[in-house]
A and B are shown apart, each in its own frame.
Chain A
Amino acid sequence: MSGSTLQRHPFHLVDPSPWPIFGSLSALCTTIGAVMWMHSYVNGGFMFAFGFAGLLYTMAVWWRDIVKEATYEGHHTVAVQTGLRWGMILFIVSEIMFFFAFFWAFFHPSIAPGIDLGGIWPPKGIEVLSPWEVPLLNTLILLLSGASVTWAHHAILCGEKQQTVYALGVTIILAIIFTGLQGLEYVEAPFSISDGVYGCTFFLATGFHGFHVFVGTVFLTVCLFRQSFGHFTPSHHFGFEAAAWYWHFVDVVWLFLFVSIYWWGGQ
Chain B
Amino acid sequence: MASSCVRQLGTNVLRRIASYSAIVGGTQQLGKRSFSAAKSGDSMMEAQEHATGLEKAEKDGAARGVNIFTEGEAWLQAPFGTPEKPVVVTSSFSERIVGVTDPEDDSIVVWDFIRQGEPPKQIIENGEYFVLKKIDNPEDHFVPHSWP
Q: Is B53 on the interface with A (CB-CB < 8 A)?
A: yes
The interface residues of chain B lying within 8 Å CB-to-CB of A71 are 35
Within 8 A of A (CB), among B128-145: 139, 142-144
Interface size class of B (residues with CB under 8 A): 35 or more
**Chain A positions within 8 Å of B33 at CB level:** 72
B94 within 8 Å of A (CB atoms): no
Alpha-carbon gap, A61 to B39, bound state (A): 24
Could you tell me if A236 and B47 are in contact, using CB atoms closer than 8 angstroms?
A: yes
CB distance from B75 to the nearest CB of A (A): 8
- Confirm or deny: A3 has a beta carbon within 8 angstroms of a beta carbon on chain B: yes
CA distance A161 to B55 in the complex (A): 22
Encode A1-28 as 1/0 by CB contact (under 8 A) with B: 1011111111000011100000000000
Given contacts A9-B69, A161-B42, contact A16 B35 (CB under 8 A): no
Residue of A nearest to B36 (CB): A229
- Do A7 and B35 have beta carbons less than 8 Å apart? no
Contact A4:B142 (CB < 8 A) given known A68-B23, A231-B35: yes
A-B contacts, 23 of them at CB < 8 A, read A3-B73, A4-B143, A10-B58, A15-B16, A17-B20, A68-B23, A73-B30, A74-B51, A78-B58, A156-B44, A159-B44, A159-B46, A160-B44, A161-B43, A161-B44, A228-B40, A229-B35, A230-B39, A230-B41, A230-B45, A230-B50, A234-B46, A236-B50
